[in-house]
């Protein structure tokens, strides 16, 4: 998985590439003008310049190009800004820092039990994802660069069209709409990977998340030992930008229940 710094290097390389293209095009124009003034029969278009133009069109049109996946800036309803991007294997320190800023209550609601720390194996599991069967997207504070939220899905081994979800927002960022944004973007990623149904196992006393799921048209399908399992059907989009089928509403604390591992 390419990390953020490689994305930045690719962006700089692209900028340098386009600058070299412009300089080459200028030199070609000067050469053609010289040829015309010298009475040349006519200057033909440089094959190298045609190649440059094709590469520039490919960069613009190919959404899976690494530099296009570096992240998306989002302004929340209170005016605060975050960068939402895919999680990668280098994000373990960010995840550990975010976990340390969760209150004991938030940790209990997230993991359905007391949880004082994340082990090295858990940090690897939560950050070393394949972005197909296991997807995770994180939110970074634009001002400080610290992790403030994360959402993930893990595909059901017995049903490739279903996945279990979890969303966590650090305490001092709850109530701003970040959980809603993360859940909506996670839904879009899930549909792109062929997932049509989410499940979420939630503590029975997690009132805020239960309200979020109900607003997202979730249905409780099972209750046991102080937990409630919900199910959300993801309707396919008719066209880009169509919000139908995405979970909506404000999660408040943004906490969903744990994933295995």
| pTM for this prediction | 0.66
Regarding predicted confidence, which is higher, 79 or 23? 79
pLDDT of residue 65: 32
Task: Give the pLDDT confidence of 130-186 residue by residue, as tens digits.
Answer: 999 999 999 999 988 999 999 999 999 999 999 999 989 999 998 898 988 998 999
108-117, 129-138, 203-212, 231-240: which range is least confident on average? 231-240
Residue 39: what pLDDT? Answer: 52
What does 118-179 look like in DSSP terms, one character per residue? --HHHHHHHHS--SSSEEEEEEEETTT--EEEEEEEEEETTEEEEEEEEEEE-GGGTTSSHH
Rounded to 5°, the CA angle 105-246-139 comes to: 50
- With 50 as the cut, is the pLDDT of residue 251 above it? no
pLDDT at 80: 94
Dihedral angle computed from the Cα positions of residues 219, 224, 227 and 233, in that order, rounded to the nearest 10 degrees: -20
Whether residue 105 is predicted with pLDDT greater than 70 in this model: the reply is yes
Cα 50 to Cα 67: distance, rounded to the nearest angstrom: 23
Domain ranges of the chain: 4-61, 71-233
Question: In terms of CATH, what superfamily is 71-233?
Answer: Gcn5-related N-acetyltransferase (GNAT) (3.40.630.30)
């Amino acid at each position: 998985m390419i990390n953020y710094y490689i994305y930045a290097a690719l962006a700089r390389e692209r900028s340098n590439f386009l600058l070299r293209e412009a300089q080459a095009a200028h030199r070609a124009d000067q050469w053609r003008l010289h040829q015309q003034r010298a009475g040349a029969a006519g200057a033909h278009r440089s094959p190298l310049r045609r190649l440059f133009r094709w590469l520039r069109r490919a960069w613009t049109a190919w959404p899976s190009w690494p530099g296009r996946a570096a992240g998306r800036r989002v302004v929340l309803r209170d005016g605060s800004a975050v960068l939402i991007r895919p999680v990668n294997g280098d994000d373990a320190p960010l995840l550990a820092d975010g976990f340390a800023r969760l209150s004991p209550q938030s940790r209990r609601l997230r993991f359905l039990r007391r949880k004082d720390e994340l082990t090295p194996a858990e940090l690897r599991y939560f950050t070393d994802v394949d972005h197909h069967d296991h997807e995770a997207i994180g939110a970074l504070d634009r001002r400080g660069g610290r992790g403030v939220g994360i959402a993930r899905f893990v595909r059901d081994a017995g049903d490739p069209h279903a996945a279990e979800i979890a969303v966590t927002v650090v305490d001092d960022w709850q109530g701003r709409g970040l959980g809603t944004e993360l859940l909506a973007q996670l839904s879009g990623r899930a549909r792109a990977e062929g997932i049509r149904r989410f499940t979420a196992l939630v503590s029975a006393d997690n009132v805020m998340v239960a309200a979020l799921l109900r607003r997202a048209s979730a249905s409780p399908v099972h209750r046991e030992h102080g937990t409630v399992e919900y199910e959300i059907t993801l309707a396919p989009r008719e066209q880009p930008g169509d919000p139908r089928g995405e979970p909506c509403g404000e999660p408040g604390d943004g906490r969903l229940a744990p994933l295995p591992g």
